[in-house]
Structure 1
Amino acid sequence: MTDAVARHYQTGGDLVRAIADALRTAGKDPARITAADLAGVDEFHVRGRAATLELAGFLRLDAGSRLLDIGSGLGGPARAMAEACGCHVTGIDLTPAYCAAATALSAWVGLADRVDFSAGDATALPFADAAFDAAMTIHVAMNIAAKDRMYAEARRVLKPGGRFVAYDILQGEGGEVLYPVPWARTAAISHLATPGAMAALLEGAGFTLLETHDSTAAGQLWFERLAARGSGRAAADGPALTPALLLGDDFAQMARNQVANLRERRIRTVTFVCAA
């Protein structure tokens, strides 16, 4: 299963170069950018950077905090947290190419000393018990069948009282998911839980559930705008700084399906705020 998930996210060619080319097309110098300039590609979860900063408030981070980002991707949320809160962030992701790109992008924006990234499995974290003050997952559980192991591992590496935030796409009441979607081209690597099942999994791992926030309506609006921008852009404009750089030409269909999935409530986006 982990191999199939890794293949879904595997990119062809030089990912860092592709991002640099897209920045230049947008009129930006990769040597003179901020973390926010990368948000179109490195924060490709629903609602993007705005959702990341919302999570920062739930996590209650400060300059002395050590945060673990499980499923860190290209490192956008990790950099946003480090920049906004002054904390140190460790990211772990299944895809080595993403970790390498996350490290390079962090150097571009001057945050290499406050973030680090390594490849690894969310269900078997390579960290000591009680190593972190806080932890988060952003759109990760959809690809993981063994969610009980992932949440047990997240609980293990947190200090007592540490906060854990899971912001994920969940199974809605509107029927089966329309594929392809950004996390899966077919149902074979898609493992959505319902909101009730997610709450039970988190509590079963030893977390205390503090708050739940359903952002489905806002997510639908965000994806409608993203899909509209993609369909209105001419191919001659050059490479865009969008998730298409990661997911390829079928991202346009993925975006259209996401709009339908959200509108018809086949999926929901929900944030769970927990304490260890």
Structure 2
Amino acid sequence: MNSIEPSFDRYTSGTLRDRVFAALRSAGVDPQAFKPAQLREADHFHTGGLQATSFVANSLGLGAGTRVLDVGAGLGGPARCFAMRGALVTGVDITAEFVDLARELDANCALDRSITMLRRPGHDTGLADASFDAAVLMHVGMNLADKPSVFAEVWRLLRPGAVFGIYDLMGTNNLPYPMPWAERAEASFVESAADYAGALKDAGFAITGQVERTVEVLEVLEQMRGALAAGTDPLATPLVLREDGPLAVANLSAAITSRQLVPLLMLASKPA
């Protein structure tokens, strides 16, 4: 790891594949042959879950033939959602356990021809200039100390006229920890919407819109807290959550309610 993309050890356990497959089997689903929707919330590790993923896809106009870059693609839930719309998705992530499992899940739901998962850092992907029509970064910024370097790489990879959607929690880093993405403030890099906008403009992007998702997110978080408390439906919550998941989700809900954090989709474009 390096200073631009700090350790993501919080997200990796070595047991994730077993837990995902066990959760599918408990729901009566064959892990070797399934539909992406059958994973429900398990592979969407961001506030608002699958509902938010669909909102991002709609906001960016992702559809048949759209070449999409997913920065910090995780287990590939959003990538599979985009691919089901006909998009051609390249996902990059630095966590080997995520990339390996995402590839297997893509193959098992017959989407591996539409999705390419790479273990690469977001600031240095090695991909070709101007090779994408759209890019997304979903709840990755809170773990990025140097967002401008990643934004500059995305700028390089997008064709003129392409769109970039960032769906992150924006606000203050002075929060009650643990949070779902960090156990302590030193591992968290939350920044304000103004900071994001400034970094995007410095990279060459034009800001085209901002959409707050507080009401929708709080509703989904309440459902998640209930599912975690019941402990009977593993596909109802992101399987990446650790043992402190109930406390982290409660802290997150409180921070959003108090507006220390705002779930925000920031839309930008690369001028034609």
TM-score range for the pair, normalised by the shorter chain length: over 0.9
Q: Which residue of 2 aligns with 1:270?
A: 264
C-alpha distance in structure 2 between counterparts of 1:68 and 1:193, whole Å: 23
Relative to 1, partners in 2 of residues 1:61 and 1:213: Cα closer, same or farther, differing over 3 Å?
same
- CA shift, 1:165, in A, is 0.5
> Identity of counterpart residues, as a percentage?
33
* Deviation sequence 1:221-254 (CA, Å, 0-9, x none): 2112211221123xxx4x7235563232111111
Is 1:138–1:168's contact at 8 Å kept on the other side of the alignment? Answer: yes
Secondary structure of the corresponding residue to residue 8 of structure 2 = helix
For structure 2, the residue ranges without an aligned partner over 5 or more in a row are: none
After TM superposition, the structure 1 = structure 2 runs for residues 114-129 of structure 1, keeping only pairs within 5 Å, are 114-129=114-129
Letter in 2 for 1:6: F
Q: Which residue of 1 aligns with 2:164?
A: 164
Q: Which residue of 2 aligns with 1:6?
A: 8
C-alpha distance in structure 2 between counterparts of 1:61 and 1:209, whole Å: 18
Q: Which residue of 2 aligns with 1:111?
A: 111
Deviates more, 1:200-209 or 1:157-166: 200-209
Tell me, yes or no, if structure 1 residue 48 matches structure 2 residue 49: yes
C-alpha distance in structure 2 between counterparts of 1:191 and 1:182, whole Å: 13
C-alpha distance in structure 2 between counterparts of 1:87 and 1:246, whole Å: 25
C-alpha distance in structure 2 between counterparts of 1:62 and 1:224, whole Å: 31
Is 2:6–2:145's contact at 8 Å kept on the other side of the alignment? Answer: no
Is 1:212–1:271's contact at 8 Å kept on the other side of the alignment? Answer: yes
Q: Which residue of 2 aligns with 1:185?
A: 183
Is 2:213–2:264's contact at 8 Å kept on the other side of the alignment? Answer: yes
Secondary structure of the corresponding residue to residue 118 of structure 2 = strand
* Deviation sequence 1:33-65 (CA, Å, 0-9, x none): 211111321112111111111111222233222
Q: Tell me which of 239, 244, 248 is aligned to 1:254.
A: 248
C-alpha distance in structure 2 between counterparts of 1:8 and 1:221, whole Å: 26
Q: Which residue of 1 aligns with 2:79?
A: 78
Q: Which residue of 2 aligns with 1:194?
A: 192
C-alpha distance in structure 1 between counterparts of 2:198 and 2:259, whole Å: 21
- CA shift, 1:264, in A, is 1.3
C-alpha distance in structure 2 between counterparts of 1:23 and 1:143, whole Å: 29
C-alpha distance in structure 1 between counterparts of 2:236 and 2:12, whole Å: 16
C-alpha distance in structure 1 between counterparts of 2:92 and 2:235, whole Å: 23
Is 2:178–2:184's contact at 8 Å kept on the other side of the alignment? Answer: yes
Is 2:228–2:237's contact at 8 Å kept on the other side of the alignment? Answer: no
- Structure having the higher helix fraction is 1
Letter in 2 for 1:12: G
Normalising by structure 2, what TM-score?
0.93
C-alpha distance in structure 1 between counterparts of 2:255 and 2:19, whole Å: 29
Relative to 1, partners in 2 of residues 1:6 and 1:55: Cα closer, same or farther, differing over 3 Å?
same
Is 2:6–2:144's contact at 8 Å kept on the other side of the alignment? Answer: no
Is 1:16–1:104's contact at 8 Å kept on the other side of the alignment? Answer: no
Is 1:103–1:117's contact at 8 Å kept on the other side of the alignment? Answer: yes
After TM superposition, the structure 1 = structure 2 runs for residues 25-36 of structure 1, keeping only pairs within 5 Å, are 25-36=26-37
Is 1:35–1:80's contact at 8 Å kept on the other side of the alignment? Answer: yes
Deviates more, 1:1-10 or 1:24-33: 1-10
For structure 1, the residue ranges without an aligned partner over 5 or more in a row are: none
Q: Which residue of 2 aligns with 1:208?
A: 206
- CA shift, 1:149, in A, is 0.7
Relative to 1, partners in 2 of residues 1:247 and 1:61: Cα closer, same or farther, differing over 3 Å?
closer
C-alpha distance in structure 1 between counterparts of 2:5 and 2:190, whole Å: 18
**CA-based RMSD:** 1.8
- CA shift, 1:150, in A, is 0.8
